[in-house]
Chains A and B, each alone.
Chain A
Amino acid sequence: MKLDFVLNGKPVCADVAPIARLADVLRDEFGLQGTKIGCNAGDCGACTVRLDGKQVCACLVPAGQVAGRAVATVEGLARDGKLGELQRAFAAHGAAQCGICTPGMLMAADDLLARVAKPTTRQIEDALGGVLCRCTGYRKIVEAVASVAADSPALADPAPGRAVGARFLKVDAAARVDGSARYGADGWPEDALHLRAVRSPHHHARFAIGDLAPLRAKYPGIVRVLLAEDIPGQNRFGIYPTGKDQPALAEGYVRHRGEPIAALVGDKATIAAFDDADFPVAWTALDPILGVDAAKAGPKLHPHLADNVLIRGRVAKGDPGPEFAKAAAVAEGEFQTAFVEHAYIEPEAGYARRVGDRIEIVATTQTPYMDRDEIALILGVKPDQVRIVPTAVGGGFGGKLDLSVQPLIATAAWLLNRPVAWAYTRPESMAASTKRHPAKIRARAAADADGKLLAFQFHGDFDTGAYASWGPTVANRVPVHAMGPYAVPHVLCTSAAIHTNGPSAGAFRGFGVPQAAIAQEQLFDELALALGIDPLEFRRRNALRAGMKTATGHEIRASVGLVACLDALEPEWRLWRQAAEAHNKTGARRRRGVGLACMWYGIGNTSMSNPSTMRGALAADGTLTLYSGAVDIGQGSNTIMTQIFADAVGLPAASVRLVAGDTDLTDDAGKTSASRQTFVSGNAARLAGADLRAKLLRLANAGPDAAIRVENGMAIVGERTIDLAALPKDGRGNVLEGVGTFDPPTTPLDADGQGVPYATYAFAAQMAEIDVDPELGTVKVLRMRAAHDVGKAVNPIQVEGQIHGGIAQGLGLALMEEYIPGRTENLHDYLIPTFGDMPAIECILIEDPEPLGPYGAKGIGEPALVPTAPAILNAIHHATGVRMTRVPATPDRVRAAIRAKAGAA
């Protein structure tokens, strides 16, 4: 059908199927890929455009309905090549992190501002409430929209050498607010073939693939059907060297729902129209092993593991047993958490193409170098035959550390010598990707009458699902952190990662520590209450301080800011607690509560080398370039690296050109996880900058404090001018290069978990005020105060952004998120927080500098999330007297707990 309509103010015409989704038409026919597809089901709002001025989901509008009407997309927001006011506000307020939700947010806000010049917070939330954001926690988006009406000043560029610590604009902000940033599903080659996986509908099954001839006859557009035997190299991958246990395509046997058994490659229309029922496969369903208890008793899921236990972890110190007998108070309990989905708004996507005897993969990823090595094994080629070009990443949170589309697009492109592209659907993303480990925890804690902790015992069984993924990391990290950021003389913490037929549980912001904190921080609250000691005071009495030893025997000499965090919360803690208690005395229907939780978090990999290398260079024309292999997944590492590098050289951060994360152009900076990029890669960037600076100083024979300027191809160093064009050039046109490598100093842990697992730790305390409707069991988080010791806030806007986003995910973990395979494989049955669920948040940044850190900085990505859930759960207890030992604390569970307590009383 010929379709005439007005697109961003201009009349246009297209020949499209009227039933096609408008979102596809905009992206494919008009190349307007700022309109994002996160679900194709109306649930995420990333595709929001304005139709005759009104916001609608472009994924739900039939193209035929826009005939004669006006469509406005994010690409139309800029005027005369300049960002519009709303876009600038989003950039300046840090309202766009990964940016995948940003086009939808902007269009919803644009609609609102056209109707209401000065909207209230409530109006902003109502108008934008149909767009989900997984990164920001929404508060900065509300601020940005409100600021358009309020005329807020723009951010000034910091002076040379002053970028670290400044509220510096994200270096890639413009591309994230104007729709030009290219994510995994964007910018595919015109001639790319498309791919579709056939996946298991069963948790556990054997299968036999039948005759493919009828399928080929019915779908002439399918050029290749890939089966396990077509994988050129080894049909095994897995992020751990010891854990290569996952087939790219299953070999007659599947271990989880959603496991791929075949891939169809063909033209776009054929692939989109393929009916899964046409794939010839005979399934023999087997009894599924769901949950760790079933796994302990059940049959072996992997031939090499006798008891389905992937790995165990252990930290032991002293002798906890006898302490419980002499304690003044003992608290113990069992706790249970669920599978949690990363729910990044960008589904996994990318394309691959073969270039001679090399393969190039342009895809969304958190870990380009590990992808490279894994793809080399799968294709049976050498790692340097693989080039990974990360796209902008629309959220990762750990979920994009594992391979997703890469093995199959690489195999198809390699075999067919044609570009091959693939984007997961939302249900596919949810079924196929890794999850946060469900934990079953038993723990007990003992304290003396003065409120000093005596002993802590902990065992957690973690459901690691079908394949190893990052399961080993969780099992290692948990016992180290399980006792919390406290001095505990006697400790026995153990963990096990156990295979089941659930989805593979992998890396998710916190690697198991948030689950452990839910148990430990609630138990410590119980101890404080039993002893009649204020919960904040109890934590302060036991808090780790500089010079103390952790349970692994690591003496931490500096940057232990927990007490400062608690002190920063204390005045409001008292006021909020009193106000809540006064409120509850009025007999109001909703009961109020205030809770607190602390956390610590080791930065970087546990007791493992995890180096990063960065390179910075000056070109003959004076261009200053940072070559950074650290992937920015929205958290802002591109900006942090730029700030640190610029200050180390002594040149303006705004002058740095960034070449990011391409395995052909940058060095290995390690993965974006474990909150390590600021600390580890930031150090590498600092060293690279210092190296470049030293070379300039040497050329100019200048002293260490000499000022440096670069103008018109000249470097002016102190008194001397260096003509850069006169220096010999390298292959990239650079004349001077600095290199920096950093690997955090750690030592292996012994059988008792003793050693130095991390070079540094972040600390935090958060408090939550909530109210509970006891009759309905609904919980609303009203406000939060979060004090985080980050060593040094390299960019306070971004640190706050991480805290807000971490709190949003912690709130989801506490109250609503539970992934059930086969039942919550979409974003309406799987609930993540919306605009209306987020509290007001106040961030307090404690800067207790880490001597090893770049300018004193540590990390914030994961720490932001860890204390939130236990703070909320402790607040529920304060409000109602019930302990929520199972999360999420959904309305029915909270109500059941309240009823049980009333029944028992």
Chain B
Amino acid sequence: MGGWTRPSTLSQALAALAERPLVPLAGGTDFYPARVGKPIDDDVLDVTGIAELARISRDGEGWRIPARVTWSDLIAADLPPAFDALKAAAREVGGVQIQNAGTLVGNLCNASPAADGVPPLLALDASVELASLRGTRVLPVSAFVLGNRRTARAPDELVVGVRVPDRPSRSAFLKLGARKYLVISIAMVAANIEAAGDTVRAARVAVGACSAAARRLPELEAALAGAKLADMARIATFAHLAPLSPIDDVRGTAEYRREAALVAVKRVLEALA
């Protein structure tokens, strides 16, 4: 059996990480399922006691969602419409048990291609704050999640939380799965639209489960800028999905994913028209 530490402050946590590599653990909802029938011999750093990481806050730079914030916390939080997509994603994660324990940061760090939190964070233009005794660095989500189960976190770093710039927008999310609850996405789409009147000022659209890490669709976003809100759904085409590289798996074929992703993109844009 491995070691265990549950510090109550961030500095204690970083000191522990500087000493030796530890596996951070928050809600455990990815940690334990990966160890069914296997010995649990990891040296664990439990982040759920760190006082500074408990609550969502807002300052001059925008919103901070620290590492202890669960899906249920997000659902209950009073947040502007820019977060509607993230909240919708939260409501569809697992069942309520998973939402009560699982964290957004854990979801991000676990870096599953099907992580439902990642497309909304991409569409929010969020960044990830990492801390170590060496200092703090902030990476855009797209630079943090490198691929399937791969992140830019160094072994002595802890993800402190997610930062979201304060930009008024509306957002929507759509998850496609083969059953209602407790389902891993076949594909999911999140979009944030900043509008002036009936015109798109800026659009951010991200698709998950159709590539090793969720991707934004820059060409679509460029095509949407300046368009009428009502035209958004019509503008999206297969060519805009070029950044995606869907695969065949037990949940669906690559061909289906590509087609469904476009339908989902159009529907999300339609919902925001």
Q: Which residues of B contact A65 (CB under 8 A)?
A: 6, 28, 46, 48
Q: How far is the CB of A20 from chain B (nearest CB, A)?
A: 8
Q: How far is the CB of A631 from chain B (nearest CB, A)?
A: 28
Known A45-B97, A55-B96, A130-B94; judge A834-B182 contact (CB<8 A). yes
Q: How far is the CB of A366 from chain B (nearest CB, A)?
A: 25
Q: How far is the CB of B10 from chain A (nearest CB, A)?
A: 18
Q: Which residues of A contact B255 (CB under 8 A)?
A: 892, 896
Contact with B36, one of A19, A48, A816, A826 (Cβ below 8 angstroms): A826
The answer on a CB contact under 8 Å between B182 and A54 is no
Task: Tell me whether A577 is interfacial, beta carbon within 8 Å.
Answer: no
The answer on a CB contact under 8 Å between A892 and B252 is yes
The answer on a CB contact under 8 Å between B33 and A778 is no
CA distance A428 to B184 in the complex (A): 21
Contact with A274, one of B36, B39, B98, B178 (Cβ below 8 angstroms): B39
CA distance A274 to B95 in the complex (A): 31
The answer on a CB contact under 8 Å between A275 and B39 is yes
Contact with B32, one of A60, A273, A274 (Cβ below 8 angstroms): A60
Q: Which residues of A contact B263 (CB under 8 A)?
A: 775-776
Residue of A at shortest CB range from B262?
A775
CA distance A891 to B259 in the complex (A): 12
Q: How far is the CB of B3 from chain A (nearest CB, A)?
A: 9
The answer on a CB contact under 8 Å between B96 and A108 is yes
Q: Which residues of A contact B100 (CB under 8 A)?
A: 51, 54-56
Q: Which residues of A contact B182 (CB under 8 A)?
A: 43, 129-130, 132, 828, 834
Known A62-B28, A425-B37, A428-B37; judge A776-B260 contact (CB<8 A). yes
Residue of A at shortest CB range from B34?
A41
Which residues in window 880-905 of A have CB below 8 A to B? 890-892, 895-896, 899
The answer on a CB contact under 8 Å between B41 and A273 is yes
Q: Which residues of B contact A273 (CB under 8 A)?
A: 1, 39, 41
Which residues in window 9-24 of B have CB below 8 A to A? none
Task: Tell me whether A548 is interfacial, beta carbon within 8 Å.
Answer: no
The size bracket of the interface on A is 35 or more
Contact with A831, one of B96, B183, B253, B260 (Cβ below 8 angstroms): B183
Q: Which residues of B contact A489 (CB under 8 A)?
A: none
Q: How far is the CB of B106 from chain A (nearest CB, A)?
A: 11
Task: Tell me whether B234 is interfacial, beta carbon within 8 Å.
Answer: no
Do most interface residues of chain B lie in helix, strand or loop, or is the interface mixed?
A: loop
Which residues in window 178-204 of B have CB below 8 A to A? 178-184, 186
Task: Tell me whether B238 is interfacial, beta carbon within 8 Å.
Answer: no
Task: Tell me whether B38 is interfacial, beta carbon within 8 Å.
Answer: yes
Contact with A41, one of B32, B181, B253 (Cβ below 8 angstroms): B32
Q: Which residues of B contact A823 (CB under 8 A)?
A: 250
Q: Which residues of B contact A743 (CB under 8 A)?
A: none
Q: How far is the CB of A134 from chain B (nearest CB, A)?
A: 14
The answer on a CB contact under 8 Å between B94 and A892 is no
Task: Tell me whether A59 is interfacial, beta carbon within 8 Å.
Answer: yes
CA distance A42 to B27 in the complex (A): 11
CA distance A816 to B250 in the complex (A): 11
Task: Tell me whether B138 is interfacial, beta carbon within 8 Å.
Answer: no
Task: Tell me whether A818 is interfacial, beta carbon within 8 Å.
Answer: yes
The answer on a CB contact under 8 Å between A1 and B179 is no
Give 1 or 0 for each of B121-150: 1 = CB within 8 Å of chain A CB: 000000000000000000000000000000
Q: Which residues of B contact A45 (CB under 8 A)?
A: 95, 97
Q: How far is the CB of B175 from chain A (nearest CB, A)?
A: 11
The answer on a CB contact under 8 Å between A19 and B260 is no
Task: Tell me whether A836 is interfacial, beta carbon within 8 Å.
Answer: yes
Q: How far is the CB of B178 from chain A (nearest CB, A)?
A: 5
CA distance A48 to B263 in the complex (A): 36
Give 1 or 0 for each of B27-64: 1 = CB within 8 Å of chain A CB: 11101110011111110101010000000000000000
Task: Tell me whether A18 is interfacial, beta carbon within 8 Å.
Answer: yes
Q: Which of B25, B37, B178, B182 has its CB near the most chain A CB atoms (within 10 A)? A: B182
Q: Which residues of A contact B176 (CB under 8 A)?
A: 776, 778, 891
CA distance A42 to B32 in the complex (A): 8
Residue of B at shortest CB range from A838?
B180
| Cross-chain pair count, CB within 8 angstroms | 166
CA distance A276 to B48 in the complex (A): 31
Q: Which of B41, B42, B101, B181 has its CB near the most chain A CB atoms (within 10 A)? A: B181
Q: Which residues of A contact B171 (CB under 8 A)?
A: none
Q: Which residues of B contact A51 (CB under 8 A)?
A: 100
Known A834-B181, A836-B179; judge A62-B252 contact (CB<8 A). no
Q: Which residues of B contact A426 (CB under 8 A)?
A: 36
The answer on a CB contact under 8 Å between B179 and A834 is yes
Q: Which residues of B contact A816 (CB under 8 A)?
A: 178-179
Known A41-B32, A831-B179; judge A19-B94 contact (CB<8 A). no
The answer on a CB contact under 8 Å between B180 and A892 is no
Task: Tell me whether A215 is interfacial, beta carbon within 8 Å.
Answer: no
Task: Tell me whether A126 is interfacial, beta carbon within 8 Å.
Answer: yes
CA distance A625 to B182 in the complex (A): 44
Q: Which residues of A contact B97 (CB under 8 A)?
A: 42, 45, 48, 55-57, 60, 108, 130
Q: Which residues of B contact A17 (CB under 8 A)?
A: 1, 4
Task: Tell me whether A355 is interfacial, beta carbon within 8 Å.
Answer: no
The answer on a CB contact under 8 Å between B178 and A896 is no
Q: How far is the CB of B273 from chain A (nearest CB, A)?
A: 15
Q: How far is the CB of A619 from chain B (nearest CB, A)?
A: 47
Task: Tell me whether A820 is interfacial, beta carbon within 8 Å.
Answer: yes
The answer on a CB contact under 8 Å between B94 and A42 is yes
CA distance A417 to B95 in the complex (A): 44
Q: Which residues of A contact B179 (CB under 8 A)?
A: 816, 831, 833-834, 836-837
The answer on a CB contact under 8 Å between B38 and A275 is yes
The answer on a CB contact under 8 Å between B28 and A60 is yes
The answer on a CB contact under 8 Å between A828 and B184 is yes
CA distance A831 to B101 in the complex (A): 22
Q: Which residues of A contact B260 (CB under 8 A)?
A: 776-777, 891-892, 895
Q: Which residues of A contact B41 (CB under 8 A)?
A: 273
Give 1 or 0 for each of B88-111: 1 = CB within 8 Å of chain A CB: 000000111110110000000000
Give 12 CB contacts A-B under 8 Å.
A45-B95, A57-B29, A60-B31, A60-B101, A132-B182, A273-B41, A777-B256, A835-B180, A891-B252, A892-B253, A892-B260, A896-B253
Can you list the 9 inter-chain pairs with the closest CB atoms, starting with the nearest?
Answer: A130-B95, A836-B180, A129-B181, A892-B256, A41-B33, A425-B37, A834-B181, A892-B252, A273-B39
Interface on A for B, CB 8 Å cutoff?
Answer: 1, 17-19, 21, 39-43, 45, 48, 51, 54-57, 59-62, 64-65, 108, 111, 125-132, 272-276, 425-428, 775-778, 815-816, 818, 820, 823-824, 826, 828-829, 831, 833-837, 890-892, 895-896, 899
- Besides A18-B46, A891-B178, 16 more A-B contacts (Cβ < 8 Å) are A18-B4, A19-B4, A21-B32, A41-B32, A42-B94, A43-B33, A56-B100, A60-B31, A60-B33, A62-B25, A128-B95, A273-B1, A829-B250, A831-B178, A831-B179, A891-B256
